[in-house]
Structure 1
Amino acid sequence: MSTVTTAPQRAGRGPVTELLLGGGRARRITWLVVAAFVLVSAVRVISGEQALTSSSTISAALLLAVPIGLAALGGLFSERAGVVNIGLDGMMTLGTWGAGFAGYQWGWSAALLGGVLFGALGGLLHALATVTFGVDHVVSGVAINILAAGVVRFLSELFYTDNPAGGGVTQSPSLSSDPPDFSVPVLSSGPDLLGHLERLNWFLVSDVAGVLRGLTSGVGLLTLLAVLLVPASYLLLWRTAFGLRLRSCGENPAAADSLGVPVYRLKYIAVLISGALAGMGGVFLVFIAGIYREGQTNGRGFIGLAALIFGNWRPGGLAAGAGLFGYADALQLRSRSAVVALFLLLAVLLAGVAVWQAVHRRAVRAVIAGAVAVGSLVAFLSIDELAPGLVSFTPHLTTLLVLSLASQRLRPPKAVGLVYRRGEN
């Protein structure tokens, strides 16, 4: 006899248990992740490209995913409150300059505070334009991106030209101190057991060792903070009264207002948090380089927005999107030939999609997926190494492909992007 989990039973789990277990959906996602990992391991064995799951690739992927994930988290707070934030990249830019300015004078902790503060100032400007004055959200965000680039150039010319500590119109002096990092005990200290298992190149075992070694060795303090912010954001937005009120502003602000929810105030708070998190992503970029440089974000704010959409405006989903882009970026940096192995991975995935579509009697989609799968297999068998220009574009192609596959299940907040005025429908 089948059993049904009742509402009291679900309520009795508690937020942490619900987050970790999450019912049937979490189990499906877990099995999907396990299946994907086994597939990547098999592709690594078949292709002989050890970089696919090497600890160096995973470590680089984590570093590259963190700023994107922080920008996406910033977009989550803003858009869940109903405010589209196209200006994430500009807020990240402000964060990089604030981190560089404070960091070279007072160290890494001041850099973190300075970057968050400058990013929040960008968020405040966006909130003022969209919430108070009713400016179109996209127009305001684009204006902030343009304005941020000009502001940081002006500030650099003002503070760094002829600065005794160094720097110039396009960069700051070096940070006076570096943030601490650590390795997880047992896994990454003492004898290098994980490194030994990784070098054996065994199916699945070496891949697990490589991933664990990459995720637990030399982890920075800000990296750990960024990872912890993902479940913290879930608990805040979905398990507290504050989060419920904030999300109601993005679904039906008029109804929320009629129930006494301070819609304008919560929108301001959400966009300020959004700017602060984007600024924190800029701080991370400065920590990696040890210095502020003009153009340091390189469009990561826009990729963070894409990760947010891929994740269906959910913390776990956007973290997966950021991780996917970070992995693709790290792989193209580590090995040009390993990128070719992704064609085999793509061929297997699309073959599965073709079978799924055929079972559900969607002939046209099945044929298209099958044809692309065959083309990917041919590319894997015939190409030894991609041209540098194509390799560098791999992360963007990955993002476009994943977004196109996930687009049919997206469900944004209903009132996102709409200008709200009390008393108006």
Structure 2
Amino acid sequence: MNSQRSQRTATVLDKKPASPPAPGRRRLTLPVVLLIIAGVLALTSVVRMITGADGITNVSQMSTALKLAVPIGMAGLGGLWAERAGVINIGLEGMLILGTWFGAWAGYQWGPWVGVLAGIAGGALGGLLHAIVTVTFNVNHIVSGVAINILALGATRYVSAFAFEGVPQGTSKQSPPVESLGSFSVPGLADGLADLNDKGWFLISDVAGLLGGLITNMSPLTLVALALVPFSWWVLWRTSFGLRLRSCGESPIAAESLGVNVYKYKYLAVIISGGLAGLGGAFLSIVANPFYLEGQTGGRGYIGLAAMIFGNWMPGGLALGAGLFGYTDSLKLRGGTENVHALLLLIAILVLIGAVWLLVRKKYVGAVIALAVSALVFAWYALTSEVPTQVVTATPYVVTLLVLSLSAQRLRMPKANGKPYRKGQGT
């Protein structure tokens, strides 16, 4: 019976396919994406050799980028689960905040792994609240999410005064230090890749830096976070549970007619969404910085939401977006002004390639605008030797806006995302 229902649910999804690409536009397949990544990495290597900014692809830079990408990726993955079930989750920032506070509070008292579980529970609590408000009471999803963000910030600020003030090394805005989970590097291979990265060879050293960053000074929690990306893809796209959950985000009325308990799946999706965001928050307060600090999420919940949208509501694309935003965030921690100045040349080249592509497709207005932007960025690079520190600080947010604006035409959210649902409304 369950197998027959899953087949009928799959039929519902098949009847509502993703919007076809516009004429002349090819869908991005995995080989094409890998080719694009390889091309960008080759251009980055050229820029590194021209500018001498070896820091843009060294092992430490990539390791830091990975550490900063994890909370963004977990928030984005949480948003993916919720929105695939048809619930917009703007409250990811608040659930991240709850994860940081609960993670540090429990981690300080009972150890880091208990803190991780508490962080997940704290985020899931925020997800449960969001589900009650949006699914049961049909409150506007954006309003509910914003309210949760405000509530989480105010609640953690209030309870911190009782939980941390007067405790050794604790204040009303900061928790005492949390015990570290530890870190590890792959023996032999990490050192070999670091040596290869130091050679400065074209492309080979850059690939070595990228791979070395993935296996150097890694936290066990990083491995858990990385594994959750393919695991989420498998659950959502290769199991009957995921099929039913996604049907709730595409056509809940049709899913209900096939026996799917839409309320149950929406609740589960949003609670899991909050738990994943809470895991990202616990990562911030236990791994990235071993303590809770008011404001330490720094808008990463919103950037995670942007990574999810950039990835077109798919785990693989989300991971690429989180990596990109994590990398830009890491620039302000390691040689920021020098590295960002070198990347101006890379941006100018990429925009120039985009202008040529638009000319080939006979989109002359866009091509002229792209050429003008490329010329301006190249002039900025040529006429200066460094960029202001304010530009470095703003880089992650500027990149977020640019990526979303440039990828907007390829986006396709679940069809029932954000729409109110009542049981039996299709009868």
In the other structure, the counterpart of 1:209 is 208
Give the CA deviation at 1:171.
Answer: 1.4
SS at match of 1:309: helix
Secondary structure (helix, strand or coil) at the match of 2:266 reads helix
- Give how far 1:119 is off: 0.5
Displacement of 1:166: 3.9
**Corresponding residue of 2:4:** none
C-alpha RMSD of the superposition: 1.3
- Identity of matched residues, %: 54
Q: Which stretch shows the higher mean deviation, 244-253 or 203-212? A: 203-212
Secondary structure at the residue paired with 1:393? Answer: helix
Partner of 1:181, secondary structure, is coil
SS at match of 2:264: helix
* Alpha-carbon distance in 2 for matches of 1:100, 1:267: 29
Task: Provide the residue aligned with 2:23 in structure 1.
Answer: none
| Other-structure match for 1:178 | 180
Partner of 1:377: 378
The match for 2:12 is none
2:170 equivalent to 1:167? yes
Deviation per CA, 1:256-276, whole angstroms, max 9, x where unpaired?
000001100000000000000
**Cα distance in 2 for residues equivalent to 1:159 and 1:381:** 53
Counterparts of 1:410 and 1:403, CA distance in 2: 9
Cα drift, residue 327 of structure 1: 0.6
Q: Which residue of 2 aligns with 1:15?
A: none
Partner of residue 187, structure 1: 189
Q: What is residue 278 of structure 2 aligned with on the other side? A: 279
SS at match of 2:414: coil
Amino acid at match of 2:138: G
Partner of residue 100, structure 2: 96
Cα distance, 1:233 vs structure 2: 0.7
Q: Which of 32, 52, 56 is equivalent to 1:48?
A: 52
Amino acid at match of 2:117: L
Q: CA deviation at 1:303?
A: 0.5
Contact 2:331 2:392 in 1 (8 A): no
Q: Deviation of residue 218 (structure 1)?
A: 1.2
Q: Deviations over 1:28-57 (max 9, x none)?
A: 111111111111111111111101101111
Provide the secondary structure at the position in 1 that maps to 2:331: helix
Partner of 1:122: 126
Between the aligned partners of 1:88 and 1:391, the Cα distance in structure 2 is 25
Tell me the equivalent position of 2:320: 320
Per the alignment, in what secondary structure is the counterpart of residue 182 of structure 1? Answer: coil
Letter aligned with residue 146 of structure 1: I
Distance in 1, matches of 2:309 and 2:131, equals: 21
TM-score of the pair, normalised by structure 2: 0.91
Q: Aligned partners of 2:213 and 2:303: how far apart in 1?
A: 23
- 3-state secondary structure, aligned to 1:248: helix
Which residues in structure 2 correspond to 1:385-424 (within 5 Å)?
385-424=386-425
**SS where residue 219 of structure 1 aligns?**
coil
SS at match of 1:227: helix
How much does 1:193 deviate? Answer: 2.6
2:384 equivalent to 1:360: no
Task: Summarize deviations over 1:329-367 as a string: whole Å, max 9, x none.
Answer: 112321211101121111111111111111111110111
| Rounded Cα–Cα distance in structure 2 between residues aligned with 1:166 and 1:347 | 47
- C-alpha distance in structure 2 between counterparts of 1:166 and 1:44, whole Å: 43
- Is the 8 Å Cα contact of residues 51 and 331 (structure 1) preserved in structure 2? no
SS of the residue corresponding to residue 333 of structure 2 reads: helix
The 8 Å contact of residues 77 and 274 in structure 1, kept in 2 or not, is answered as: yes
Q: For each residue in 1:201-243, what CA deviation from the matched residue of structure 2 results, as whole angstroms up to 9, or x when unmatched?
A: 1111221222222211111111111111111111110111111
Q: Which residue of 2 aligns with 1:19?
A: none
Whole-angstrom distance in 2 between the partners of 1:248 and 1:185? 45
Match of 1:10 in 2: none
Alignment correspondent of 1:110:
114
Aligned position for 1:299: 299
The one-character-per-residue Cα deviations of 1:121-170 (angstroms, maximum 9, x if unpaired) are 0000000000011111000000000000111112112222323x441211
Quote the residue 2:5 is aligned against.
none
Distance in 1 between the 2:88 and 2:213 partners?
A: 35
Where structure 2 has 5 or more consecutive residues not aligned to the other structure, the ranges are 1-26
Using the TM superposition, give the Cα deviation of residue 180 of structure 1 relative to its aligned residue in structure 2, in angstroms. Answer: 2.8
Distance 1:46 1:106, change over 3 A: same
SS at match of 2:189: coil
The secondary structure found in structure 2 opposite 1:416 is: coil
Q: What is the SS of the residue equivalent to 2:267?
A: helix
Check whether the contact 1:41–1:207 (CA below 8 A) recurs between aligned residues.
Answer: yes
SS at 1:281 equivalent: helix
Residue of structure 1 equivalent to 2:81: 77
What is the distance in 2 between the residues matched to 1:352 and 1:158?
56
Query: In structure 2, what is the Cα distance between the partners aligned to 1:306 and 1:209?
Result: 28
Question: Aligned AA for 2:419?
Answer: L
Q: Deviation at 1:400?
A: 1.1
Pairing of 1:7-18 with structure 2 (within 5 A)? none
* 2: CA distance, partners of 1:195 / 1:235: 33
Code of the residue aligned with 1:372 in structure 2: it is V
The structural deviation recorded for 1:76 is 0.2
Partner of 1:7: none
**Partner Cα distance (1:331, 1:151) in 2:** 32
Q: What one-letter code is carried by the residue in structure 1 that aligns with 2:55?
A: A
**2:99·2:277 contact (CA, 8 Å) conserved in 1?**
yes
What one-letter code is carried by the residue in structure 2 that aligns with 1:26? L
- 1:169 is matched by which residue type in structure 2? S
Aligned to 1:6: none
The Cα shift of 1:24 comes to 8.4
Indicate the SS of the match to 1:273: helix
**Amino acid aligned to 2:300:** R
CA distance in 2 between counterparts of 1:263 and 1:129 reads: 15
Give the deviation of 1:74 after TM superposition.
Answer: 0.2
Question: Is 1:308–2:312 an aligned residue pair?
Answer: no
Task: State how 1:134-145 maps to structure 2 within 5 Å.
Answer: 134-145=138-149
2:90 to 70, 86, 96: 86
